[in-house]
Structure 1
Amino acid sequence: MSYEIVTLPAYRTVGLKWVGTFSEIVPNLKNVIQQVKDCADEVGNKINPHVLLGLSYHVIENGFVHYSVYQVSEEQEIPDGMIELRVPEWTYVKTTHCKGEDVQKTYTDLHQWLFNSDYTAYKEAGVVYYDLNMPIKHEHYPVDHDPNHPHFDIYIPIVKK
């Protein structure tokens, strides 16, 4: 695996929010992701129409808050039933999960890299996280990816130790 340190400027997103436990992921989270894909035409001012973002925040016990969203311009109105989320400028460690590989192994390797690096996962002040190793996970999926054999980029916000 290769790892790259990147800083992404702040950006605006529009899409759907899901809150649930790990046991509720299937089929609930997959349904939310599909709903966002089905409504993609309602989001006309996408910055990168070929990438669907999965932004996860581990702020509930045994689960997380997930935003299935598109990055959009400031001109984009929020379609009915959708929400807006603004992501601040952060520095990330970026890696890629390749099709056919084990997702759990990809994250285990990333955790090991973080442990051995000069960085630690970023945690927003005043927020309680239930996954202290990677409390915030951003995944960038090609919109046409195969959910049974996914490939995607992973971005974990980081700070120097």
Structure 2
Amino acid sequence: MKNFDYEIVEIPAYRGIGLKWDGPYTEVNTLKELIVSMSSRVGVLDYVINPKVQLGLSYHLRPDGFVHYSIYEVSVEQQLPDGMVELNVPAMTYLITHHKKDQDIGQTYDNIYQWLKESDYEPFREPDVEYFDRLPIKHERYPNDRDVKNPHFDILIPISKRT
């Protein structure tokens, strides 16, 4: 596929702490508020690994929406602050691509899906978990300097070799 820059990388397991959102697509505007809230609360995390990179981890576990974690990677010393959740992300293989400003996010995800269809990889799915999206798990890395209305960020899709 032309004009699709990506790489396949292994990322070790890590621990994240932040806020959880679980809702329908019709309430996605409340998710944006939660993401902004989490970015303003990074200061309460004493053992944050990289305070300049906010992570958004989406799991399509419901037919009308998804579950999203807005987190920062933290070390083991970090205590869980009140009102936040902890997420332990296993080591995985990812397809990583960069979504640039002024591009259509839906198109970027379509490009990922198209590449996967033509490759030796498929989106990773946890056994015995029902997902409701062709890309069931989406991880995104947002730099602090992003424009919320016209963002640039990295997209990481957990993948596995086709069997």
Question: How big is the shift at 1:50?
Answer: 0.7
Q: How does 1:13-32 map to 2 (within 5 A)?
A: 13-26=16-29, 28-32=30-34
Q: How does 1:38-117 map to 2 (within 5 A)?
A: 38-117=40-119
CA distance in structure 1 between the aligned counterparts of 2:40 and 2:156, rounded to whole angstroms: 25
**Structure 2 alignment gaps of length 5 or more:** none
Q: Which one of 14, 19, 32 corresponds to residue 11 of structure 1?
A: 14
After superposition, what is the alpha-carbon deviation per residue over 1:44-65, rounded to whole angstroms, capped at 9, x for unaligned? 2111111000000000112000
What residue in structure 1 maps to residue 161 of structure 2?
Answer: 160
CA distance in structure 2 between the aligned counterparts of 1:52 and 1:143, rounded to whole angstroms: 7
Give the length in aligned residue pairs: 159
After superposition, what is the alpha-carbon deviation per residue over 1:106-137, rounded to whole angstroms, capped at 9, x for unaligned? 11111100111110000001111011x21000
2:81 counterpart SS class: coil
**Percent identity of equivalent pairs:** 52
2:77 counterpart SS class: coil
**Structure 1 alignment gaps of length 5 or more:** none
2:154 counterpart SS class: strand
CA distance in structure 2 between the aligned counterparts of 1:2 and 1:44, rounded to whole angstroms: 35
CA distance in structure 1 between the aligned counterparts of 2:94 and 2:64, rounded to whole angstroms: 24
CA distance in structure 2 between the aligned counterparts of 1:118 and 1:13, rounded to whole angstroms: 30
Q: CA RMSD in A?
A: 0.7
Give the letter aligned to residue 77 of structure 2: E
What residue in structure 1 maps to residue 135 of structure 2?
Answer: 134
Asked if residue 145 in structure 1 is aligned to residue 146 in structure 2, the reply is yes
Query: Under a length normalisation based on structure 1, what TM-score does the superposition of the two structures give?
Result: 0.97
CA distance in structure 2 between the aligned counterparts of 1:45 and 1:145, rounded to whole angstroms: 23
2:79 counterpart SS class: coil
Moved over 2 A (4+): none
